[in-house]
Amino acid sequence: MTDGRGRAGLSLTARVLGTVLVILLVGGLLVAGSIWWNTRAAARQSYDRILFGAASDIAAAIRIQQGTPLVDLPVSAFELLAQAPDDRVYYAVTGPGGALITALDPAHTVPAPDQPASAGATFFTGTLSGEEARFVRLSRSFAERDFSGAVEVVVGQTLRARNAMTTDLMLDALLPMAAAGLLLTLLAALVVRSALRPLDALVADLSRRDPYDLTPMPAEALPRELGVMLGAVNRFMGRLDGQVEAMRTLISDTAHQLRTPVAAIQVHGESAAEEQSEEARERALARLLARTRSLRTLLDQLLSRALVVHRTDSAPRTPVDLREVALEVMERDDQSVLRPEAELRLRIGDAPVMVRADAFSLQEAAHNLLNNALRHGQAPVSIGAEQRGREAVLWVEDSGPGPAPEVIAHLGERFNRSADSREQGSGVGLSIVAKVASAFGGRVEMGASETGFRAALVLPAEEEHP
């Protein structure tokens, strides 16, 4: 568990950091490429200017002496070229028709590419004794009495200084960039780690937890994104907690509720067995039967309650017409068992009374309300459904005065059997109603009505769909 968590945490950090690194690397490469391009252009431009300057110097030093062009080669041109101190140089001056006037090495001249007619100075690359070099060609036209035509100057230089300048400029630009990249990577690592720290804390909290501790985890100091996740976890834990609680309740209720009736049954059974007189045994058997029947009802109610609790948590909510619930409950013939003589009335209107809930749970609630009315109230008993403004009401009414107010105050409490511990009254029925009401956002209302005592399940009405 610890290992898995560690690996997961590391992999998230590594993933984010890796992405950051890739972005930095790609960005760095792009910037480096652009720097390289620019510095090369800058070096080329500045050294091309030197070449051009030297060629211009030489061209300016051409003079015509007795009809022949002559170059008094200027030292300044070579001092200019010596700005690239370690580069080899080349020069050649030719007259019309390519006749050589002077050259570094008259035996070896570099052929220049054909010049476009309009160009003043053209630059070209070639080789100078096996080394790559850059050349400029410049021509100067003469129109003297004894000489007319163009004299062409070609000056060249190897590329050492250019390349050195490119490298220098590159390094000058790249070193700070590399430093910045390193710094950014460090910052990114710090940021990622601090961003993931709440997650680590969360994971640590979860793993430290008692397995039965389903209380929500604190979400105040968390980033919003984690808050969402934690909310989901907390909701899930809440539902789990509800289920566990329901289970616990069921078990404890069942144990609590069953203990007394089962003990009574045991007593009645024993007395029936010991009873000598036939008549007394008959009576004991009858009591035994009544107790057993009551126990069955109780069991039904407990199971129904457990089912309702479970369904309110898990069953999907659908639109339900409360009139149909009332009708359904009416048609069960429970009252024939409880109070066969009692009159039962259904009071529903024409309009549907819609809520969004679980039909089964509602039926159980209504069934329990009805049973209570039949058992404790006075006939006639009515069941009905109606819409009251934004609320939908499912109610059961009997014609009696209802229980005393102090009893009403305690109605629905699960173990409320102290005041009225007759075998039929368990309090479980009303607790089902209360559970259903709270599950679907409603409440239970009890009180005297015009014609008797009314117990009602009030739920928010479902907006009617056109």
Site size toward other proteins (CB under 8 A) is 27
Contacting other proteins (CB under 8 A), which of 21, 31, 60, 103? 103
Return d(Cα 436, Cα 364) in angstroms, integer.
9
Contacting other proteins (CB under 8 A), which of 13, 38, 46, 102? 102
Q: Is residue 89 involved in binding other proteins (CB under 8 A)?
A: yes
Residues 129-148 contacting other proteins, CB under 8 A:
129-131
Residue pair 223/198 in contact by the 8 Å Cβ criterion: yes
Q: Is residue 67 involved in binding other proteins (CB under 8 A)?
A: no
SS3 22: helix
Q: Is residue 70 involved in binding other proteins (CB under 8 A)?
A: yes
Q: Is residue 213 involved in binding other proteins (CB under 8 A)?
A: no
Of 26 and 70, the one with the shorter C-beta distance to other proteins is: 70
Amino acid at 308: V
Q: Is residue 123 involved in binding other proteins (CB under 8 A)?
A: no
Work out how close the CB of 186 gets to other proteins at its nearest, in angstroms, rounded to a whole number.
38
Return d(Cα 390, Cα 439) in angstroms, integer.
18
Return d(Cα 397, Cα 250) in angstroms, integer.
29
Work out how close the CB of 189 gets to other proteins at its nearest, in angstroms, rounded to a whole number.
43
Return d(Cα 65, Cα 72) in angstroms, integer.
11
Residue pair 21/185 in contact by the 8 Å Cβ criterion: yes
Q: Of 12-20, 69-77, 317-325, 393-401, which segment contacts other proteins by CB under 8 A?
A: 69-77
Work out how close the CB of 61 gets to other proteins at its nearest, in angstroms, rounded to a whole number.
9
Residue pair 91/103 in contact by the 8 Å Cβ criterion: yes
Of 133 and 199, the one with the shorter C-beta distance to other proteins is: 133
Return d(Cα 390, Cα 452) in angstroms, integer.
25
Q: Is residue 253 involved in binding other proteins (CB under 8 A)?
A: no
Work out how close the CB of 60 gets to other proteins at its nearest, in angstroms, rounded to a whole number.
14
Q: What ranges make up the beta strands (E) of 178-333?
A: 318-321
Contacting other proteins (CB under 8 A), which of 5, 88, 140, 410? 88
Q: Is residue 72 involved in binding other proteins (CB under 8 A)?
A: yes
DSSP bridge partners of 357: 318
Residue pair 55/76 in contact by the 8 Å Cβ criterion: no
Q: Of 102-110, 288-296, 344-352, 418-426, which segment contacts other proteins by CB under 8 A?
A: 102-110
Neighbours of 127 (CB within 10 A): 11
Of 88 and 283, the one with the shorter C-beta distance to other proteins is: 88
SS3 167: helix
Contacting other proteins (CB under 8 A), which of 3, 4, 86, 277? 86
**What order do you get walking across the sheet with 148-158 strand by strand?**
100-103, 89-94, 148-158, 131-143, 121-128
Neighbours of 135 (CB within 10 A): 22
Of 133 and 264, the one with the shorter C-beta distance to other proteins is: 133
Q: Is residue 78 involved in binding other proteins (CB under 8 A)?
A: yes
Return d(Cα 251, Cα 216) in angstroms, integer.
24
Q: Is residue 125 involved in binding other proteins (CB under 8 A)?
A: no
Work out how close the CB of 9 gets to other proteins at its nearest, in angstroms, rounded to a whole number.
54
Contacting other proteins (CB under 8 A), which of 16, 35, 101, 458? 101
Q: Is residue 71 involved in binding other proteins (CB under 8 A)?
A: yes
Q: Is residue 66 involved in binding other proteins (CB under 8 A)?
A: no
Written as six digits, the tokens of 313 are 């948590």
Residue pair 380/395 in contact by the 8 Å Cβ criterion: no
Amino acid at 347: R
Binding site for other proteins (CB under 8 A): 70-75, 78-79, 81-82, 85-89, 101-108, 128-131
